[in-house]
Structure 1
Amino acid sequence: MILVQCQGLSKNYGSKKALNNINLTLEAGAPIALVGPNGAGKTTLFSLLCGYLSPSEGRISLLGEAPNSPKLLGKVAALPQDATLDPNLTIASQLALFARLQGMNAKLAAEEALRVLSLVDLVDIAQQKPPSLSHGMGKRVAIAQALIGSPTLVLLDEPTAGLDPANAKKVRELVKTLSPTTTFMISSHNLDELEKLCDQVLYLDKGELSQSVSMHANTDSDYLTLTMQHCDSEKLLQEVAKLNGVINVSTKQSNSFVIQLAPNEDKIAEQSAIDHYQFEMKLLSLFNHHHWQYKMLMKGRTLEETLFS
């Protein structure tokens, strides 16, 4: 199912071009990451998808409809980064109000408010008002609001910004749990978090879509990412480079290494997997010989390395 299509999408603010000729097609499935530096156009793109702004040029289609179409009611939802709750209303009454705006009657709206609060594990604070909540709890309530009506597409702008590790983990787990039925598009600067959640990654820079990559692309199958707890870095670089099948080995930061292996273009997938397994066994034997301790050995490259290498 095609969720989002942008054709020649541009947005100008006076003489400044916030987005320039964006062309993309997004399908339902695993969460999608939207990354880029501050001022790259991420928030502008989200605002255009939500219908808050109109494009200067080009077209947008969500589930085959224009962003402001009434047919999208309950199917597309968004959580702006700085979303706030009314301090004078209880959590349950606010969420029920939003459910009513989607066309639910009073009874169904009250039930829906409790349903989405249960998704974020906050049913027990339903009758409290926002000022009594911690920052993390308030953020989770805001996410619950975006889940009203079980939308097909949810846009999350920095959903874990400012959250403590426990609350951030709960948000990640929620996204994973709901991903089979809801597609999330997540804008964030936290590459480690996006790497855990997303497959497709869109990289915006200076208003242009400069990269669109998949974390599970076959092109990364010829790389290994290695993180060591204890080793002689210079010695490790020398010894790994000597192993058969290694094209290049480099270090990007302290005790972190990227190993590029010779591609197995003429071999079937099963044989390629065996070759990689044998290489990993040699690598572990090398660690044992030198009494080096490794922390992580990962197939492929990190998102940071994929985007910025």
Structure 2
Amino acid sequence: MSLLNSQSAPLIQVDNLSKSFGDHLALDKVSFSIEKGQPIALVGPNGAGKTTLFSLLCGYLLPSSGTITIAGLMAGDANLFGKLAALPQDAQFDPRFSIAHQLTFYAQLQGLTRKNAQKEAQRTLELVGLADTLKAKPDELSHGMRKRVAIAQTLIGSPEIVMLDEATAGLDPINAREVRQLVASLSSEITFILSSHDLSELERLCSQVLYIEKGQLKQHQNLQSEEQQGFLTIRMRKAYDNFLPLMAGVADVQHIEQTQNNEFLITTGLVSPESEPLDLQILKLCHQHKWQYSQLTNGKTLENRLF
């Protein structure tokens, strides 16, 4: 039976969590709860305390004060072994040994027999689309492939919580998309906590965001809340003459403002049931004037919501 599914309390509960390193306060009375489900975004500038929070959740560090419970158990409890996995941003593999050797070794550390560990290495590589790299050594793989192998490592043993720190950093668009698709496909079984500076990537995947700054939790938002209704965001490929007045003239557009270079936030008015959907009206206007856009999304962007 799944340990995490057996609990009625939040999957993760953090209360007044603080962590100091000497005179430096890395986390300051952070509190939040996370339910099992869709991926959670962890956002903040460098040095905000994100990596420290990851380390505390994993049980690598002990809090200076406050508590962390995961499925009702204290972080670091032996009963959580194999239920939680984390991928640091700069995780490396030993260049001397094959991918199969290293993943098999990590699986054996979780208590699997060598035969089952070999099967687990094969299974996790298949999940990330790299089943044919078993015999390869890390230096024979591209950066993107090594990153996906590292994600495969976190999936060994079918953990129920996976924390990924900058999982797509440095990846080309194709590899980054494959990682996003993998996370989305596994989200019914695994609760992912994703840390990244790429806010557009996080808003594609995540249902909630935790924003940490200077060790304090500044915001904990539901990205799918009703507050998102009534807004559209459009990002144009370049500036166009008369874009603002023509867009403002669309019947169901109440207000439009430029939020950054070539990006606009549209506030919708009361839409008549007989009206054509506003996003379709906007697309038709773009087509009519041969305006090229790169993105049209419901709601505000994550960047606009946070900042």
TM norm structure 2:
0.89
Contact (CA 8 Å) 2:230, 2:268: kept in 1 or not?
Answer: yes
Please tell me whether residue 298 in structure 1 is matched to residue 306 in structure 2.
no
Aligned letter for 1:236? F
Aligned letter for 2:124? V
Q: Out of 168, 172, 176, which is 1:168 matched to?
A: 176
Please tell me whether residue 18 in structure 1 is matched to residue 26 in structure 2.
yes
The residue number in structure 1 matching 2:43 is: 35
The secondary structure found in structure 1 opposite 2:259 is: strand
Moved more, 93-102 or 139-148: 93-102
Contact (CA 8 Å) 2:240, 2:291: kept in 1 or not?
Answer: no
Q: Which runs of 5+ in 2 are unaligned?
A: none
- Superposed CA deviations along residues 8-66 of structure 1, whole A, max 9, x for unmatched, are 00111222211111110001111111011111111010011011111111000112212
Question: CA 1:174–1:245 in structure 2 vs 1: closer, same or farther (change >3 Å)?
Answer: closer
The residue number in structure 2 matching 1:268 is: none
Aligned letter for 1:104? L
* Cα distance in 2 for residues equivalent to 1:40 and 1:294: 37
The secondary structure found in structure 2 opposite 1:293 is: coil
- Superposed CA deviations along residues 193-234 of structure 1, whole A, max 9, x for unmatched, are 11211111111111111111122111011111123357645x
Aligned letter for 1:255? N
The secondary structure found in structure 1 opposite 2:95 is: coil
Give the deviation of 1:93 after TM superposition: 1.6
- Superposed CA deviations along residues 119-162 of structure 1, whole A, max 9, x for unmatched, are 11112111222222222111111111100011100000111111
- Paired residues, number: 298
Please tell me whether residue 136 in structure 1 is matched to residue 181 in structure 2.
no
Please tell me whether residue 260 in structure 1 is matched to residue 267 in structure 2.
yes
Contact (CA 8 Å) 1:140, 1:171: kept in 2 or not?
Answer: yes
RMSD of equivalent CA atoms: 2.2
Aligned letter for 2:173? P
* Cα distance in 2 for residues equivalent to 1:5 and 1:273: 43
Question: CA 1:275–1:158 in structure 2 vs 1: closer, same or farther (change >3 Å)?
Answer: farther
Give the deviation of 1:255 after TM superposition: 2.8
- Superposed CA deviations along residues 84-120 of structure 1, whole A, max 9, x for unmatched, are 1122222112111111111111211111011001111
The residue number in structure 2 matching 1:249 is: 256
Superposed structure 1 runs of 4+ greater than 6 Å apart? none
Moved more, 277-286 or 166-175: 277-286
Aligned letter for 1:254? N
Give the deviation of 1:287 after TM superposition: 5.2
- Superposed CA deviations along residues 239-259 of structure 1, whole A, max 9, x for unmatched, are 444555654311123332111
Contact (CA 8 Å) 1:117, 1:123: kept in 2 or not?
Answer: yes
Question: CA 1:111–1:285 in structure 2 vs 1: closer, same or farther (change >3 Å)?
Answer: closer
Please tell me whether residue 149 in structure 1 is matched to residue 157 in structure 2.
yes
The secondary structure found in structure 2 opposite 1:274 is: coil
Aligned letter for 1:67? A
Question: CA 1:186–1:281 in structure 2 vs 1: closer, same or farther (change >3 Å)?
Answer: closer
Contact (CA 8 Å) 1:3, 1:153: kept in 2 or not?
Answer: no
Aligned letter for 2:296? L
Give the deviation of 1:303 after TM superposition: 1.2
* Cα distance in 1 for residues equivalent to 2:109 and 2:75: 17
Q: Out of 86, 91, 97, which is 2:105 matched to?
A: 97
The residue number in structure 2 matching 1:120 is: 128
